[in-house]
Amino acid sequence: MTAIGRTGHADDNDLAERYGRTPSIKRRNRRLYTALAVLVGIVVVAWVIWAGLDQAGGSIEAQDTSHRILDDKTVSISFLVSMPIGSTARCALQVQNDAHGIVGWKIVKIPASKLYTTGHTETVRTAEQAVTGLIYRCWLT
């Protein structure tokens, strides 16, 4: 039964208990929110470390400089590769037709060099007449 105070209203403690605002519930909620905040903090720190370590291996950049259609079945692709000195890489080159379909593909080895940026020219055979040749992607090996 609810105790009625001098003013004819229920005590504050009874109201707090009725609506779930007792000190033990507040304490439990505070612990829950603290644990949740710690968990979110751990996930954020782990992600930052993982993302930072992912970049530790060095980076590589490649840039198309030109392409030449040599004949109906051959395209020459010239490109620059910038990567850490002494590293090796591979690049995937692709040749496309006028509908942007891939009609030629070649993976080439990029040898280690004493220069950060090196120029390369490769010839790619095609299955049909091509209109362009470009770098699809390069990666360190």
Give domain limits for the chain: 12-54, 61-140
Model confidence over 17-29: pLDDT tens digits?
A: 777 667 777 788 8
121: confidence class by pLDDT, cuts 50, 70, 90: very high
In what helix (H) or strand (E) does residue 134 lie, and over which residues does it extend? strand 132-140
Enter the pTM of the model. 0.59
Cα 49 from Cα 40, distance rounded (Å)? 14
Q: Which amino acid is at 14?
A: D
Residue 139, CA distances (Å) to 49, 66, 74, 116 in order: 22, 20, 24, 15
Which pLDDT tens digit goes with each residue over 1-22?
555 555 555 566 676 677 766 7
Residue 71 has, within 13 A of its CA and on its CB side, a CA count of 2
**Six token digits for residue 88:** 């090796």
Looking at the structure, give the CATH architecture of the domain made up of residues 61-140: Sandwich (2.60)
- Our CA dihedral for 33, 35, 38, 43, rounded to 10 degrees, sits at -100
